[in-house]
Structure 1
């Protein structure tokens, strides 16, 4: 058995292994609401990691650009698949910068 805490809309907002505080409700481990809550938590965690990965990708792109500008590395130092990806990202970023400039001019 699992103990759950509910919010003001009667949705599960926390789970506990034991009845460590008042107002907890006991549910079975295969309760559909518990399963839905755990699924939402897993999705939230995946989205958090995805955002973190995207933020890190931007840092890595900027780092590569700085190292190339300082002639520490060259684009040819990378394997062909990496070059293709870097060039594609650079093209996409350039296109978005152009769109942003057009919007600002209006």
Structure 2
């Protein structure tokens, strides 16, 4: 996400990767004015481009976490199908954020679903 700083006339004069008091307007990178600002800002060195990508990594991680939660809730994937290292990382991030309150088992195997499978096997 890119946020723009605008002047008194409402013209975009600068962009940043995070929202602040001055950078409040959400803009697309393909807008001509924004693209020109980005080109002039980051053409100096590829290190600046890498910094911009690094700044957006935490936002992307949160998007991926939310996507995994959504796919799990819709039962399109099972959390346990993910590699163990990914499971541990996702659960630790969820715990650190304070979302996991001990009752949210959305990423865990649904014990009712497993019981239903066992009941079907007995019929």
Q: TM-score, normalised by structure 2?
A: 0.40
Q: Indicate the structure with greater helix content.
A: 1
Instruction: Give the greater-gyration-radius structure (CA).
Output: 1
TM-score when normalising by structure 1: 0.46
